[in-house]
Copies of this chain bind each other. A is one copy, B any other.
């Protein structure tokens, strides 16, 4: 008989039941054919004695093996290892490279060569030049967490725990209708609102509905990289038009329209990403007229609506749209914090219906509890109060950063003070390259990031975005300091040459 006594080990400290410890070990013995098919297992009384456990443990173990299909019971004969169990084939070593289960895949799949990787951050002593992100330290996290808990302690919370609407929570949709109609001059009802997981999901859903292979989408010759990647991943064709100090050139778009059917224009109307300019009134109206005349969609990504330091926000294209041409996208990710993936896609009912259907198969639905939390946060006026508060701070940071950059590094960097947003579009003196600058900067614990993303059309403008909003006063001084040291070293090595 098989030496069960020496092959089976019980761990009496472990909180797994003995019968399970036993059955799992017997399964291992069956899987590696130590116990071959047809092998008769000892009677429960015999095995119980051998292993010094209660007979009930053995009976429970055999029941378990039977239920799982590892053994079969033949009346009046006993319990036998299942006769037809196949042997598991292990991966053979090929040449000298061992198969690494953690890393290698035993089947082929489609790898994506279009979407770029997202950058990873992990070093605290580094200063990262960011693209223009908010300062997490200003997030009213206490208020939000308190509201979340209040939402969870309401009697009706159980209505929100099960599967919900693919459109998002109804209360938040109602609140957004009022909020967007008031603050942005929209004229929408609830059926025009889909709650998304941030603006990116809005861009992604729009591109799914608007673009198939070889469809044309118009973007600026400088443009938001993640939008470009999203459209390219749909195998759409990007037509790039000039961006000047008034934004996208509507004349260039008109010329394109005369030659071919375009499906969509992507515009960050308020401020152009990355150059931070605002689309002027004339072009806003021309773009709307072109969309009507040539039947294309305007994907208006209004990520920066809330941040205007020199004047009131300009009403979005969507507020002037009387022909159903605009898909309007926004989120609280910039105004509150990126971790709260609460955004919206505003469009005609039929577009919203289609987009919602699709999202139902991607992540099924949003987080109703967080959506209710933000419904409260917006309706109570807390969002507006928060925006007013951080606006003041960001304006001070913009002014300080721009002053220092101008005063101390004006010979090396050229820029306009941005009227809004969280970043300065900064041109490095053409004598230098960001490539080299970035290399030297690393020695001063300054990480420039992916500067190439800002020039996907290869214009050679030598500009990148430098975010100022996430840094407090001391950090701005330190950032300028590291920029100066970098420039210093670059100049020194020039002189030495």
Give the B-binding residues of A (Cβ under 8 A): 17, 20, 23-24, 27, 31, 63-64, 67-70, 82, 84-91, 99, 101-112, 115, 117-118, 120, 133-134, 136-137, 139, 141-142, 144-146, 148-149, 152-153, 157-166, 185, 187-189, 191-192, 196-198, 200-201, 204, 208-210, 212, 226, 229-230, 233, 246, 263-264, 278, 280-282, 285-286, 288-289, 291-293, 295-297, 310-312, 314-315, 320-325, 337-341, 347-351, 354, 357-358, 360-370, 419, 470
Contacts and interface: CB of A to CB of B under 8 A. Distances in A.
Given A200-B363, A350-B105, A363-B363, A120 B285 contact: no
Given A31-B320, A67-B311, A367-B370, 14 more contacts: A17-B312, A31-B285, A99-B324, A102-B191, A102-B192, A105-B350, A105-B351, A106-B295, A112-B357, A141-B152, A148-B152, A162-B339, A200-B362, A341-B367
B164 A210 contact: no
A334 to B, nearest CB: 11
A319 to B, nearest CB: 10
Identify which of A148, A212, A296, A362 gathers the most chain B CB atoms within 10 Å of its CB: A362
Contacts of A314: 68
Given A105-B347, A288-B88, A320-B88, A152 B158 contact: no
Given A233-B361, A289-B89, A109 B163 contact: no
7 contacts: A101-B321, A110-B210, A115-B357, A133-B162, A141-B157, A204-B361, A367-B367
Please give the count of copies of this chain that the complex contains: 2
Interface of A, secondary structure class, is loop
A496 to B, nearest CB: 40
A364 B198 contact: yes
Given A312-B20, A323-B90, A163 B99 contact: no
Nearest to A212: B110
B69 A106 contact: no
B112 A358 contact: yes
Identify which of A91, A118, A152 gathers the most chain B CB atoms within 10 Å of its CB: A118
Contact of A145 (B152, B158, B295): B152
A281 B71 CA distance: 9
Contacts of A323: 89-91, 99, 101, 106
Contacts of A341: 363-367
Contact of A109 (B115, B210, B233, B278): B210
A132 to B, nearest CB: 12
